[in-house]
Amino acid sequence: MEVKMKYMFASDIHGSAWYCRKLLEEYGRSGADRLILLGDLLYHGPRNDLPKEYAPKEVIALLNGMKNEIYAVRGNCEAEVDQMVLEFPIMADYGVLVLNGLTFYATHGHIYHPDHLPPMKKGDILVYGHTHLLRAEIFEDYYVVNPGSVSIPKGGNPATYGILDGKTFKIQDFEGAVVKELTF
Strands 160-165, 142-146: pairing kind: unpaired
Domain that holds residue 171: 6-183
Convert the pLDDT of each residue in 71-108 to its tens digit. Answer: 999 999 999 999 999 999 999 999 999 999 999 999 99
Q: What is the DSSP letter of 68?
A: G
Domain annotation covers residue 1: no
Q: Report residue 2's pLDDT band, with 50, 70 and 90 as the boundaries.
A: low
Torsion of CA 104, 78, 22, 106, to 10 degrees: 0
Put simply, whether the predicted model's pTM sits higher than 0.75 gets the answer yes
Residue 51 and residue 53: Cα distance in Å, rounded? 6
Distance CA 41, CA 56 (A): 8
For 9-43, write each residue's pLDDT tens digit: 999 999 999 999 999 999 999 999 999 999 999 99
Round to the nearest angstrom and report the end-to-end CA distance of the chain: 19
Q: How confident is the model at residue 4 (pLDDT cuts 50, 70, 90)?
A: confident
pLDDT for 1 beyond 80: no
> What amino acid occupies position 25?
E
Cα 184 to Cα 168: distance, rounded to the nearest angstrom: 6
Question: What pLDDT shows up at residue 48?
Answer: 83
Residue 108 domain flag: yes
Using CB atoms within 10 Å of the CB of residue 122, give its burial: 0 to 12 exposed, 13 to 18 middle, 19+ buried. Answer: exposed
CATH number of the domain enclosing 76? 3.60.21.10
Domain assignment present for residue 176? The answer is yes
For residue 126, being part of any structural domain is answered with yes
